[in-house]
Amino acid sequence: MTGPANSSLRLTTARARRDGILLFFCALVAFASYDAFCKWMLRDHSAPMMNLTRYVSVSVIALVWLLREGGLRLWRTPCKWLLLVRGLALGIVASCFMAALVHMPLAEATAIYFTAPLIMVALSPAVLGERVGRAQWAAVLAGFGGMLLIVRPGGDLPLAGTVLMMVSAVCYAAFQLLTRRLAGVVAGPVLYAWTALICLVVTGVPALATLPQVMPRAPDLLLMMAGGACSGLAQLLLLAAFRRVAASTLAPLNYFQLLLAVLISTFVFQRPPDGIALAGIVLIMLSGGYLALRGRQAPPAPPAPLVKPVVARPKD
């Protein structure tokens, strides 16, 4: 290849990397903003109603994406049971996370939630058959030690909120593991739509069963749906970032969202974590960052595909 061609390729790659990282940071800001928005709105509205409006918006985005891709048929996709379990896992995450936010400070809640990558590493030998070395196990244990500093006996975190957030972290780890199993097997729009519609059902049933006597006003409903659309678009930003930059490059940057949660909790809600909890948050960030960087240096072999990969049909 000629010199100018090499230079052009390097410029294109550098531009894609820069754009991907920028898109990833935009997604993290959107997720952190939506969590703060939910914490604010939960003062006047129920957690089930917040989840319902969120997944109404996300489902609309999913259906629009499907139509743009030529109307891929949801039921003809492979691995339906895994898709169902994956959607149920995220539905539980949404329900538990939102309910916990009613009682938990944003910083500590987000920190417990961010133990999900550590849980994923701990479960990967059994679920994916991946090898986890001693240094990785040490990082996982250190991260769990950080969580214990946050939820320590004698602390002021409510037990119910803490348990709900732990359940959310475990289910999110399962969701991520299933995502890795289905990557390259199910087309992206179909994967997104299955998850959105299942979460709509999982969160919609409790919302309809616990309708408040006084329904939110139309401006509030529209505001909640706009917030839900923000979270759905953040997922699309993530997908766009991953198309440009390797996941192993972006993984260590995830903890920027945790830093944002600490700042928002401190300066917006006037609930800064105490010194011991802050030490636990830092320990979780360092442990997760180490695992992400180690994975970047020596990525594990991908699991064998469950079925022949499905390629989305190009539009006419």
Rounded Cα–Cα distance for residues 76 and 90 (Å): 22
In the chain, DSSP finds a helix count (H) and a strand count (E) of 12, 0
Structure tokens belonging to residue 103: 């009682």
Query: Which H or E run includes 42?
Result: none
Residues of the chain with pLDDT under 70: 1-12, 71-72, 154, 295-316
Which one-letter amino acid corresponds to residue 198?
Answer: I
Rounded to the nearest angstrom, the gap between the alpha carbon of residue 162 and the centroid of all alpha carbons in its chain is: 18
| Contact assessment for residue 54 and residue 228, using Cβ atoms and an 8 Å cutoff | yes
Distance CA 8, CA 291 (A): 34
Listed by start position, the domains of the chain span 22-209+216-297
pLDDT of residue 9: 52
Tokens 């006047």 belong to 44
Q: Which amino acid is at 57?
A: S
CA distances from 46 to 41, 92, 164, 206 (A): 9, 16, 16, 11
Burial of 75 (0-12, 13-18, 19+ CB in 10 A): exposed
In contact, 152 and 276? CB cutoff 8 Å: yes
Tens of pLDDT along 172-206? 999 988 888 887 788 888 889 999 999 999 999 99
Which pLDDT does position 303 carry in this prediction? 44
Using alpha carbons only, give the angle 203, 182, 137 rounded to the nearest 5 degrees. Answer: 90
